[in-house]
Amino acid sequence: MVEHRPWSHLAAHLILIVGVALVLFPVYIAIVASTQGPGEFLRGTLPLLPGGHAVDNYRAMWESGLSRAGAPPVGQMLFNSLVMALAITVGKLSISLLSAFAIVYFRFPFRLFFFWVIFVTLMLPVEVRIIPTFQVVADLGMLNSFAGLSIPLIASATATFLFRQFFMTIPEELLEAARVDGAGPLKFFKDILLPLSITNIAALFVILFIYGWNQYLWPLLITTDPDYYTIVMGIQRMTTAADGDPQWHLVMAAVVMAALPPVLVILSMQHLFVKGLTETEK
Amino acid sequence: MASLKMEGLKKTYPGGVEAVKGIDLAVADSEFVVLVGPSGCGKSTLLRMVAGLESISEGRLCIDERRVNDLEPAQRDIAMVFQNYALYPHMTVFDNLAYGLKNRGIKRDEIRRRVEEAAQMLEIAPFLPRKPRRLSGGQRQRVAMGRALVREPAVFLFDEPLSNLDAKLRVQMRVEIKRLQRRLKTTSLYVTHDQLEAMTLGDRLVVLNEGRIEQVGTPMEIYARPASLFVATFIGSPAMNLIPLDYLKETGNGLLNDLPEGTDLIGIRPDDLRLQAPSEPHLVVEATLELFEAAGAESHLHVRLTGNDQTLVIRTAGQPRVAEGEALRFHVTRDAWHPFNRESGQRTDTLKHRAAAVCLLDACKRSGTHG
């Protein structure tokens, strides 16, 4: 169905351009805003061309942050976010890989029961169980710690399910061949299952990293010490400064920096991601 | 180099389904035994029990006089070739072959030597650095064989290894497997549902049906003297014709009077119904030709018995001058009859008629030339 009608081509491209512009314009505005001086926003109109204060703004945010609004330096918050997001991602991946492995390849009593228990947790996202979870974390003395930030978010069923589905598509003969070749369960997991899942792992890594990075409510609840503020909740603090108008140019600089790590993760994982979608190795 | 012994092997699945109902079988050192039977007869289950991939519900399994019932597959000193090859897709051919050896802690130099030797033998040396997905079906099959070969196991197990190949490659690989086994003299157990593969490969055949052994013997023994109706119709293509004794008696002569007790069906191989009358005493079957199939060196005649609705298939050499719709007379000599009892499904001349067995030895030689 290849048609050569110039008008439909033009229309298609126009729609695409409008779509891209709709998505990119706010990003552009954020970047432009982060280069303005302190006075620009107070005039009421937002300039559409970059200003000359980029270096000042970014340096100020990176080094000292908005201390008046109770936000630590952005560098510190980025680090906290990174630690939390990585802990959540790695934790989720390893736990779900292992539990999917157990569910698919082992016959143990109450296997189905455990399967359903994992399934049920899908219905209980953090927001639903947030109060009891907070209570537990508080009782364990994990408030204001990286452990408290990440551990409650690690247990999740989504990744377990995806891996389970993937493992079930791997032919059983592969396991049997490995058994004949003298590979025990863990060796099979390490030598065969993990290398075969690598593209799935990469895809989930991206998704879970962004999930962890974007956590807002949970860090807001359990961190009271600015040393443990994450960037997403930190930005929120900056905008609700108690004394006067928020300093948008600085907030925008923080926003741009907060958006960079997920972009980097996606770019670096992209080739694996695409490979996983286009190539079947079975 | 090892013998393999099964004593009363049984497999009962949870839920009470019996897949294997008591198998006694001894495989001698360096023997090539083929398990053959229709799908669902338990042949694959039996092989997987030997491999250690299925647990053994009852009975004893010994490899080289060592009871291996409860050993892991890797400890049984066996190697297996799977139907869909089961190559590790992310490893190169070299690593596929080497993986089992690495797991056994064999030294790197020794692994390299063995892999290269096997690759040489199977002519896959140029593919060693490739991944399996870049190989053709036949090459993958060779890699799967190589993986079994490098282990230098006591017993080879083959689980329908040729059924994923096209017809031409299948014949070629069949010859190669046989040649390889002759050369290595490794005890082998081979599962197939293809009776031609079974006949040509095995030193001995084991015909299985519904989890039981129907007959054990050399391919020609089984072809010449099938022990039951099941074996008679399963081995040989086209299948053996079965004609009710009553019909033959109505139309036949005194030759049929001294058959063993209980005989009510006579089996006749498609090759044994001759158009030319032999000089020795023989039985005459009259039939109408319904369909003529020319298949090159031989022809298949589909005929309908006169005065009966039954159809027979007859195989003759060359292309006889016959026309469809023509009434024909076929001649069957005494040594070509296989007497059966319909009720029990068994051959009726098993013990009593020793004399007939002598005739059958001749038949054995004869069918060896054109079977």
* Per-residue confidence (pLDDT) for residue B20, from 0 to 100: 93
* Cβ contacts of B100 on chain A, cutoff 8 Å: 180-182
Please check whether residue B6 is in contact with residue B63, taking contact to mean a CB–CB distance below 8 angstroms: no
- pLDDT of res. B80: 94
Question: Do B213 and B89 fall into the same domain?
Answer: yes
Is the distance from CB of B214 to CB of B205 less than 8 angstroms?
no
The dihedral over CA atoms of B97, B98, B100, B106, expressed in degrees to the nearest 10, equals: 150
Total of domains in chain A:
1
Of B72, B89, B104, the CB nearest to A179: B72
Residue A23 lies in a domain: no
Average pLDDT along chain A = 86
Q: Is residue A113 part of a domain?
A: yes
Structure tokens belonging to residue B65: 């006089």
| pLDDT confidence of residue B359 | 45
Position A96 pLDDT exceeds 80: yes
Do residues B261 and B198 both lie within one domain? Answer: no
Domain boundary among B200, B224, B248: B224
Which residues of chain A neighbour B99 with C-beta distances below 8 Å? Answer: 178, 181, 183, 191
B192 and B276 fall within a common domain? no
- Which residues of chain B make contact with A195, given a CB cutoff of 8 A? 90
Shortest CA distance from A187: residue in chain B: B103
| Domain stop point among B224, B251, B271 | B224
User: Does B232 map to a domain?
Assistant: no
Contacts of B259 by beta carbon, 8 Å cutoff, 6+ apart: B245, B339, B348, B349
- Do B217 and B265 reside in the same domain of the chain? no
Alpha-carbon distance of B224 to B363, in angstroms, equals 7
CATH of the domain at A167: 1.10.3720.10
Does residue A53 fall inside a structural domain?
Answer: no
- Tens-digit pLDDT profile for residues A186-230: 999 999 999 999 888 988 898 899 999 999 989 988 888 888 889
Contacts of A276 in chain B (CB under 8 A): none
- The predicted pLDDT at position B354 comes to 45
> What is the value of pTM for the model shown?
0.80
Residue of A nearest to B134 (CA): A281
pLDDT of residue A180: 92
What CATH number is associated with residue B121? 3.40.50.300
Alpha helices, H only, chain B? 43-51, 93-103, 108-122, 137-150, 167-184, 195-201, 219-224, 229-234, 245-251, 354-370
**Rounded to a whole number, what is the distance in Å from the CA of B103 to chain A's nearest CA?**
6
Which has the closest alpha carbon to B73: A62, A188, A29?
A: A188
Helix and strand numbers (H, E) in chain B are: 10, 17
Residue A68: the pLDDT is: 65
* Statement to judge: residues B243 and B198 lie in one domain: no
Which of A38-42, A136-140, B12-16, B232-236 is the least confident region? A38-42
- Listing DSSP states for chain A in one string gives -----HHHHHHHHHHHHHHHHHHHHHHHHHHHHTTS-TTGGGGSS--SS--S-HHHHHHHHHHT--GGGT---HHHHHHHHHHHHHHHHHHHHHHHHHHHHHHHH---TTHHHHHHHHHHHTT--TTTTHHHHHHHHHHTT-TTSHHHHHHHHH--SHHHHHHHHHHHHS-HHHHHHHHHTT--HHHHIIIIIHHHHHHHHHHHHHHHHHHHHT--HHHHHH--SGGG--HHHHHHHHHT-SSSS--HHHHHHHHHHHHHHHHHHHHHHHHHHHHHHH----
- Is A98 inside a domain boundary? yes
Whether B308 is covered by a domain: the verdict is yes
Phi, psi of B245 (to 5 degrees): -65, -40
**B219 occurs within a structural domain:** yes
CB nearest A180 (choices: B80, B83, B89): B80
Q: How many domains does chain B have?
A: 2
Pairwise CA distance, residues B2 & B29, whole Å: 5
Q: Is the pLDDT of residue A279 over 60?
A: no
Q: Would you state the pLDDT for residue A78?
A: 92
Does the beta-carbon distance from B99 to A181 stay under 8 Å? yes
Domain limits at B150?
A: 4-224
Question: Residue A8: is it exposed, middle or buried by C-beta count within 10 angstroms (0-12/13-18/19+)?
Answer: exposed
Q: With a CB-CB cutoff of 8 Å, which residues 210-269 of chain A face chain B?
A: none
Cross-strand pairs, B155: B78, B187
- Is B79 touching A (CB cutoff 8 A)? yes
Those residues whose C-beta lies under 8 Å from the C-beta of residue B95, and which sit 6 or more positions away, are: B88
The C-alpha atoms of residue A26 and residue A65 are separated, in whole angstroms, by 23
The pLDDT of residue B98 = 95
Is B74 in contact with A196 (Cβ distance < 8 A)? no
What one-character DSSP code corresponds to residue B352?
Answer: S
Q: Does B27 touch chain A (CB under 8 A)?
A: no
Closest to B213 measured CA to CA, from B225, B199, B203, B227: B227
In B, minimum Cα distance to A183 occurs at B103
| pLDDT of B228 | 93
**Chain A positions in Cβ-Cβ contact with residue B147 (cut-off 8 Å):** 177, 181
Q: Is B192 in the same domain as B328?
A: no
CATH code for the domain in which residue B340 is found: 2.40.50.140
Same domain, B153 and B262: no
Which regions of chain B are under pLDDT 50?
A: 352-371
pLDDT tens digits along A153-179 = 887 788 888 899 999 999 999 999 999
Cross-chain CB nearest to A182 (options B87, B88, B104): B104
Contact check, Cβ <8 Å, B88/A180: no
Domain range for A148 is 76-241+259-278
Query: From CA A155, how far away is CA A148, in angstroms rounded?
Result: 13
Give CA–CA dist B202/B190, Å, rounded: 8
Split at pLDDT 50, 70, 90, the class of A21 is very high
Burial B330-360 (b: 16+ CB within 10 A, else e): bbbbebbbbbbbeeebbbbbeeebeebeeeb
Q: Do B88 and A174 touch (CB under 8 A)?
A: yes
Q: Which residues of A touch B72 (CB under 8 A)?
A: 179, 182
Q: Of A245 and B19, which is predicted with more confidence? A: B19
pLDDT of residue B260: 85
